[in-house]
Amino acid sequence: MGATLRLAMGGQELLRGEGSLAAAPERLLARGGLRSAPLSVVLVVPHASLARTSTSTLLVEGTVDARLTAEGTLAAPRLALEAAGRGLQVEGRPLGDLTAQARWAEGRGSGRVTLAAKAGGTLEATAAVDAPLGLDTRAADLRRAPAELGLRARDLDLGFLPAVLAGWVRTASGKLQADVTARGPLERASPRGTVRLADGRLAISEYGDWTQIEVDATVTDDAVELRRVAARRAHGSFEAHGALRGMGGPDARLEGRIVSRELPIMRAGMDLATLDLQVDATGAYQPGALQVKLTVPRGTIRLPKRAPRTLQSLERRRDIVVGRQPAPRKAPLPVPRGPGERPFTLTAQLLVPGRLQVVSDNPRIRVELKANVTYELTGANDFATGTVEVVRGEVEPIGGRNFQIERGKVTFTGGPPKAALLDVEAVYDNPVAKVTVAVAGPISDPEIRLSSQPPMDDGQIALLIATGRTELKPGSGGVGTLTGEEAGRAALGAVATQAFKDLVADKLPLDTVAVDAGALRAGKYVTDKIYVGYTRRFDVQLEQGQNVNEVRVEYQITRRWTLESRYGDAQSGGASLIWSKDY
């Protein structure tokens, strides 16, 4: 019983092969006959050009030669692979030349993959496994088979990374030296060796450019020692060192320290925070379990002037299918564990005694935190217990509205971290009233409640927070009596923070509210076709006839025709008939 194969694309032969099982078809129906049938397979890739096989989503260039042979029987095959790729490039980024050899016969497999990087240097990975391979081989037996793995880098320039990690690493450089060997069961081989990187540079998509990257690590039979890991980003720096010693005994001890100095953390081009803190790490390791205690004796987390925007995900939507509906995929079966085996457990305790400052200048935030939180990860399940509390603090979410934090606490209840509960109370003292804001509930969707003394409804409280007044009526302490300086200060403070929308806008007795550095706008739909809006401008030029206070009325005649008119206190106004079409 035999078969032949030939695959071509664009007039180029990509793959040819032939194979046979030297047995009658009826004999192959029995497992014994299938196991013992003589096997012969030859597959050849004859100097194929990868550019002709590339797609619009992945452009690969270079040439590939390969030959795979299989002999013996399905119960005890003899496999051999020889492959070579020359002038490889991914998305126009040079990779280099790649060669691979593999053999598996008589209960032993071995392989070697070598990369001669275009940027310079070599990377070699080797593997040897003592285990039979055949029709009766179980995956669990392979995972537990004795193995020896190796990874060696000689003056390897990291310039090859953009080709390997296309779309994630934009540019890379630096010389890597590595000599690591791992021995033991294939699924739990113990590494030994050294890794060193000098003057590294990485530009990572969404996470920015990192320079002066250094790594000096050593692994021995008794210890894993991280002598130095360092990097710089912009004007900030990061350094770490640590060691896990006593691995030859029942308990290994962990000690380390992480120090960041004015280190900016960003994602998707937006600053998230600037870290200036020290973290001391201690702990213990046993086979299958790592316990770490992280102590932050002091530090400062500086928030950016602009709150990070919530961006639309660019990942492919799984609920949108273009074309034919694909067949549903079955979930992969969990990997079976041997008798008595338990999943790896990580337990990390974060201890902050109380000198961790969270600060921001715009909006103004001054908060001191303390924390005692324990996080546990067992297999794919994670849990968290403990609290993060505010020792003292004040927040100015909108210019001139200074809130004193009377109580602030995040409680992790023993479930997943996202199930934590939030309990915050802040007070704003105004000559008109004392306002209390209470935020409570699940951290993913807390509830905001406003109260005051003397009592006012939510709309009045929201106006008080937004403008410092409780009414919108001109001449009665409302917006109409705000000076340009007062209104501008409130507007600039509001536009700087999402707190205006979250805390105030939704509670105002209006359909639309918008504040920016130049104006306060508010409006209400009188009917489904008539909209009346009010605008208060802070930076008007009176000599040009601009209105400080302006009223705008919109009337939707039809779906495409709208009549707009505006008039203000500078006797300036107009009317427009607008035709529009949405695409």
Cα–Cα distance, 530 to 524 (Å, whole number): 9
pLDDT of res. 68: 94
Q: Does residue 369 sit within a domain?
A: yes
Co-location of 412 and 536 in the same domain: no
CB-neighbour burial class of residue 172 (10 A; exposed 0-12, middle 13-18, buried 19+): buried
Question: Two tokens at 128?
Answer: 């040897």
Which of 472, 503, 534 is the last residue in one of the domains?
A: 503
Q: Does residue 353 sit within a domain?
A: yes
Under DSSP, the state recorded for 466 is H
**Torsion, CA 203, CA 204, CA 208, CA 209, rounded to 10:** -20
Q: Using an 8 Å Cβ cutoff, are 239 and 228 in contact?
A: yes
Q: Does residue 284 sit within a domain?
A: no
Co-location of 489 and 358 in the same domain: yes
Q: Does residue 52 sit within a domain?
A: no
Cα–Cα distance, 463 to 192 (Å, whole number): 66
468 phi/psi in degrees, rounded to 5: 85, 0
Terminal-to-terminal C-alpha distance of the chain: 62
Q: Using an 8 Å Cβ cutoff, are 43 and 83 in contact?
A: no
DSSP letters for 536-574: EESS--GGGT--SEEEEEEEE-SSSEEEEEEEETTS-EE
Q: Does residue 119 sit within a domain?
A: no
Co-location of 496 and 516 in the same domain: no
Instruction: Name the β-bridge partners of 551.
Output: 534, 567
Co-location of 424 and 377 in the same domain: yes
Q: Alpha helix (H) ranges present in 165-216?
A: none
Co-location of 368 and 488 in the same domain: yes
Co-location of 531 and 560 in the same domain: yes
Co-location of 492 and 530 in the same domain: no
pLDDT of res. 469: 65
Cα–Cα distance, 89 to 179 (Å, whole number): 26
3-state DSSP assignment of residue 52: helix
pLDDT of res. 478: 40
Largest interatomic CA distance in the chain: 103
Co-location of 422 and 569 in the same domain: no
Co-location of 366 and 498 in the same domain: yes
Cα–Cα distance, 98 to 234 (Å, whole number): 36
Which of 477, 503, 529 is the last residue in one of the domains?
A: 503
Co-location of 354 and 483 in the same domain: yes
Q: Does residue 545 sit within a domain?
A: yes
Under DSSP, the state recorded for 303 is P
Residue 477 parent element (H or E): none
Its pTM stands at 0.72
Give the number of other CB atoms < 10 A from CB of residue 550. 21
Co-location of 355 and 474 in the same domain: yes
Cα–Cα distance, 442 to 423 (Å, whole number): 9
Q: Does residue 428 sit within a domain?
A: yes
Co-location of 359 and 450 in the same domain: yes
DSSP letters for 244-285: EE-TTSS-EEEEEEEEEEEEEEEETTEEEEEEEEEEEEEEEE
Residue 405: domain span: 303-307+344-503
Q: What is the pLDDT along the chain (583 residues), one digit of tens a residue?
A: 788 988 887 778 888 999 888 877 777 777 787 888 888 999 999 988 888 776 656 788 999 999 999 999 888 899 999 999 999 998 888 999 999 999 999 899 999 999 999 999 999 999 999 999 888 888 888 989 999 999 999 999 999 999 998 888 999 999 999 999 999 999 888 899 999 999 999 999 888 899 999 999 999 988 999 999 999 998 999 999 999 999 878 889 999 999 999 999 988 778 889 999 999 999 999 888 999 999 999 999 998 876 655 555 555 566 666 666 666 665 555 555 555 567 889 999 999 998 899 998 877 889 999 999 999 999 889 999 999 999 999 988 776 778 899 999 999 999 999 999 999 999 988 888 898 988 899 988 888 888 889 888 877 777 777 666 665 444 343 433 444 344 334 433 443 344 444 555 555 555 666 665 567 777 887 787 888 888 888 777 778 888 888 999 999 888 889 999 999 988 888 999 999 887 6
Q: Using an 8 Å Cβ cutoff, are 554 and 563 in contact?
A: yes
Q: Using an 8 Å Cβ cutoff, are 214 and 231 in contact?
A: yes
**Torsion, CA 157, CA 159, CA 160, CA 161, rounded to 10:** 110
Structural domains in the chain (count): 2
3-state DSSP assignment of residue 356: strand
Which of 488, 503, 518 is the last residue in one of the domains?
A: 503
pLDDT of res. 485: 40
Residue 36 parent element (H or E): helix 31-36
Give the number of other CB atoms < 10 A from CB of residue 269. 12
Instruction: Name the β-bridge partners of 451.
Output: 436
Q: Using an 8 Å Cβ cutoff, are 243 and 255 in contact?
A: yes
Q: Using an 8 Å Cβ cutoff, are 221 and 247 in contact?
A: yes
Q: Does residue 315 sit within a domain?
A: no
